[in-house]
A and B are shown apart, each in its own frame.
Chain A
């Protein structure tokens, strides 16, 4: 029996050491970054090159594939949302659709490679890039300073701010209206969560890990309001009877941009060139008309779309 405890403790110790060992390697810029999760993408990581110097990120252990390696392999992994209509979602035929996807398809076409969509959740977008599970994140990724320490953002292709939607029976127009027992629904890993934690720590948050569950929770009345990107809450209020966006903008205007692994210069500059080139042909306006018009109508086109990577502040 005594032997068994020793075995258990030894196992625990070994596990702890392995984990801390990974941490140690990480700061040294090791090339093996698949420590945290199983390596779903074995081929990706074996081809990956170590970022080595230049990445000042806290975790500093990024694996990525360069532009040439992607072209050579014939397919690109793009991380998108599968439950964020109309930006990135899976339609009734099982195909990915939306504004982000429209852009992703163009990237695949211009690179001449097959696109392999990887469904992500808000909270693991950075993770997927850091571990090389995807080459690009095109999942409504808001540019923030904190995130820019971990990943490299390309030029923006959309504007965004935060917004808060609540049921018509009790429309929240200001955060000060929230009472003691009121909880605000947020999605773990979104800018709304970070913003509220930093600027309104008194607001009680109810956190979900996917868009689908958060929406369901709002419909079921588990929280009094839902804070998220305003594009998302406006879309929700337009698509669902009985909801009003009481706070259309909260905090500052931000932008949404594609992101690549920290230090992946070749892919980053290719995407930047692509966005500028597509700007010439008004590509993102076309993308809006193809994917967002049904939801937002023509009124939001100029506010939302960023063409050619140039933000025109209104």
Chain B
């Protein structure tokens, strides 16, 4: 292990880490939004939309992200829709993540016993109010563990962005190995930087889980 090489590579990895985090978090944020929307559609069994959402979930969960990225980046331009790598990475992550997030939220929503919404409605709350004040906060609380697992999973999935020429951490390491053959140093930095990104997320997840554990009447 040559520490001067590590010092030399550090800026490259830092830059790649920022890119990884930026693309990852943007993709995940969109995925959460998509997930909530889809989960609500499924929860209320809205006709037509419900079928579309189920179709999307099956499609997105049963194809690898790599295939989705290839489709967006190399496939779409063939039919005249050109994309750039960054857009492709974010949308790929959002497409994949949306379905996982949806299932996480849905499990939360469906865990709330119907008696609660019935009670709330009998108190005169509107459907929206029931969702906003009774169901959603509890559902969120229940789905936090699954949610955080998804966030970490999606963050790690960014490591295949190299396929669409995004210089993320993984590609930077691979590229440096190919250029200068400093394998040990590159792999060491790779592991360290992924840990720097993911450990805080994992710890934040545990904190959130603890703070948000208020769901379940009387539990």
Give the B-binding residues of A (Cβ under 8 A).
1, 4-5, 8-9, 12, 15-16, 19-20, 22-24, 26-27, 36, 58-59, 122-124, 126-127, 130, 146-147, 149-150, 188-190, 193-194, 197, 206-209, 213, 216-217, 220-222
Given known A8-B202, A130-B183, contact A188–B175 (CB-CB < 8 A) = yes
**Per-residue contact bits, chain B 169-195, to A (CB 8 Å; 1 contact, 0 not):** 001001101111111110110011001
Contact of A23 among B1, B179, B202 (CB under 8 A): B1
Q: Evaluate contact between B171 and A26: CB separation under 8 angstroms.
A: no
Q: Please indicate the chain A residues that have their CB under 8 angstroms from the CB of B178 in the complex.
A: 122-124, 126, 188-190, 193
Bound CA–CA A190/B162 (angstroms): 16
Q: Evaluate contact between B202 and A36: CB separation under 8 angstroms.
A: no
Q: Taking the complex as formed, is B77 at the interface, i.e. its CB lies under 8 A from any CB of chain A?
A: yes
Q: Evaluate contact between A194 and B187: CB separation under 8 angstroms.
A: no
Of the A-B pairs whose beta carbons lie under 8 Å apart in the complex, a sample of 21, sorted by A's number, is A1-B206, A8-B202, A8-B203, A12-B199, A16-B188, A20-B188, A26-B1, A59-B183, A123-B177, A124-B177, A149-B181, A188-B175, A189-B178, A190-B178, A193-B178, A207-B165, A207-B171, A213-B165, A220-B74, A220-B78, A221-B82
**Nearest neighbor of B210 in chain A, beta-carbon distance:** A1
Bound CA–CA A127/B179 (angstroms): 11
Q: Please indicate the chain A residues that have their CB under 8 angstroms from the CB of B33 in the complex.
A: none
Q: Evaluate contact between B177 and A146: CB separation under 8 angstroms.
A: no
Q: Please indicate the chain A residues that have their CB under 8 angstroms from the CB of B203 in the complex.
A: 5, 8
Q: Evaluate contact between B184 and A23: CB separation under 8 angstroms.
A: yes
Bound CA–CA A149/B187 (angstroms): 20
**Per-residue contact bits, chain B 64-104, to A (CB 8 Å; 1 contact, 0 not):** 00000000011001100010110000000000000000000
Bound CA–CA A213/B171 (angstroms): 14
**Nearest neighbor of B186 in chain A, beta-carbon distance:** A36
Q: Please indicate the chain A residues that have their CB under 8 angstroms from the CB of B184 in the complex.
A: 19, 22-23, 26, 36, 59
Q: Evaluate contact between B174 and A213: CB separation under 8 angstroms.
A: no
Given known contacts A23-B184, A124-B177, A130-B183, what 16 new A-B pairs fall within 8 Å (CB)? A9-B199, A15-B191, A19-B187, A59-B184, A123-B178, A126-B181, A149-B181, A193-B175, A193-B179, A197-B179, A207-B171, A208-B165, A213-B74, A213-B165, A220-B78, A222-B82
